[in-house]
Amino acid sequence: MSKRRKSQRTAADTAPRREKVRDIFVPRPFDGLVDEPEWIALRELVPAASAPLRLAPALVEEFGDRSATLATVLPMAAPAITKPDGRVLIGLQRHQQSGDVSRDLAEALLCALRTEPGGQVAVPPLPGPGPRLQDILADGPLDITMHEGFEFWLDPGAGDDPSVQASLERANAAIYPTVRLTAAKAAYWCQVPEKAHVRWVLPEDEDAALDALARLGAAGSLTLGEQTKFAGMFRAHGRLVPVWDLPEETPAADWEDPVAQFAKRYAEALAATDPLDAAGRRARQGLLGRQLTLR
């Protein structure tokens, strides 16, 4: 064996072994949070929104009463940033993630709190075991602010930088109009090229929600009215998200009443306790055949 190869092998043998991080998939990462459907909606449906977060008492004692903000996405899809004044932001939509979104977000927040204000936040792609959002937040309803653009990223005067402005314009150009509806919690209208949608993150367990939708499908009451179509549904973080195709020209406000009426029909179907009949079972199979799963 050559001296070079021998020295390389010796160095490899003496180097500390890196502990392998085991990744575990958690199908309902936001389970236990008061606004679980809204967390899912902000991660999967909404392009630009933010909400303040309250740290748990133990973190306030350790880091002080720092300002923490949840954002749908941050510049370059960063997991977290810290501002010179000590404010921290964490991004729901990011490039690297493990099988437990709640653990990822908690680690991003902790890393930001430990970073010097204004410094670069380093977040591991696989954080390993540790506290989750449910452990480090004082839970409560999310006070969501919808944004038409990503200007909320910037500190005062930062937009004067031509390169920053150009980056912001590119990010804003990718946003499609999205409106948070009041008729149902975690229901959002959005407009994409040539059509519009309503998408609603249902709060119930998947089997119960699917049975209720199947009852409505069998009864022919699964749409939001004329010129609308039930497009299907997807599964996101352990919850069902039905989607409706809508006329492009009808504004978001006009869908408040149809969504409220559907929510009423859905609640009645959800309360039914008798087994699905043959038509209901066929409708259920049809819904399953049009279902996608997001991970």
What is the predicted pLDDT for the residue at 161?
72
CA distance 218 to 222: 8
Tokens 């009041």 belong to residue: 182
Close Cβ partners of 83 (under 8 Å, ≥ 6 residues apart):
89, 117, 118, 155
Angstrom distance (rounded) from CA 165 to CA 34? 37
Cβ proximity of 142 and 35 under 8 Å: yes
Segment (H or E) for 294: strand 291-294
Do residues 269 and 216 touch, judged by C-beta distance below 8 A? Answer: yes
- CA distances (Å), 120 to each of 28, 40, 88, 112, 123, in order? 30, 27, 11, 9, 10
Cβ distance 151 to 159 under 8 Å? yes
Q: Which residue has the tokens 């810290």?
A: 82
Give the whole-angstrom CA distance, residue 134 versus residue 199.
26
Pairwise CA distance, residues 240 & 17, whole Å: 42
How far is CA 171 from its chain centroid?
18
178-289 CATH? 3.30.1460
Ordered per-residue pLDDT tens for the chain, 295 residues: 555 555 555 544 554 555 666 778 999 999 999 999 999 999 999 999 999 999 999 999 999 999 999 999 998 889 999 999 999 999 999 988 899 999 999 999 999 999 999 999 999 989 989 999 999 999 999 999 999 999 998 887 666 677 777 778 888 988 999 999 999 999 999 998 889 999 999 999 999 999 999 999 999 999 999 999 999 999 999 999 999 999 999 999 999 999 999 999 999 999 999 999 999 999 999 999 878 776 5
Domain residue spans of the chain? 35-173, 178-289
Whole-model pTM: value is 0.90
Cα dihedral across residues 232, 177, 29, 143: positive or negative: negative
* CA gap 70, 235 in Å, rounded: 23
Q: At what angle do helices 256-271 and 206-218 cross, to 10 degrees?
A: 110
pLDDT of residue 97: 87
What DSSP state is assigned to residue 23? Answer: P
Nearest partner of 40 among 204, 236, 294, 242, judged by Cα: 236
Token code pair at residue 19: 């502990």
Q: Please state whether beta strands 68-71 and 49-53 pair in parallel, antiparallel, or not at all (unpaired).
A: antiparallel
The pLDDT, as a whole number, for residue 292 is 76
- The pairing of strands 239-246 and 229-236 is antiparallel
Under DSSP, is residue 226 helix (H, G, I), strand (E, B) or coil?
coil
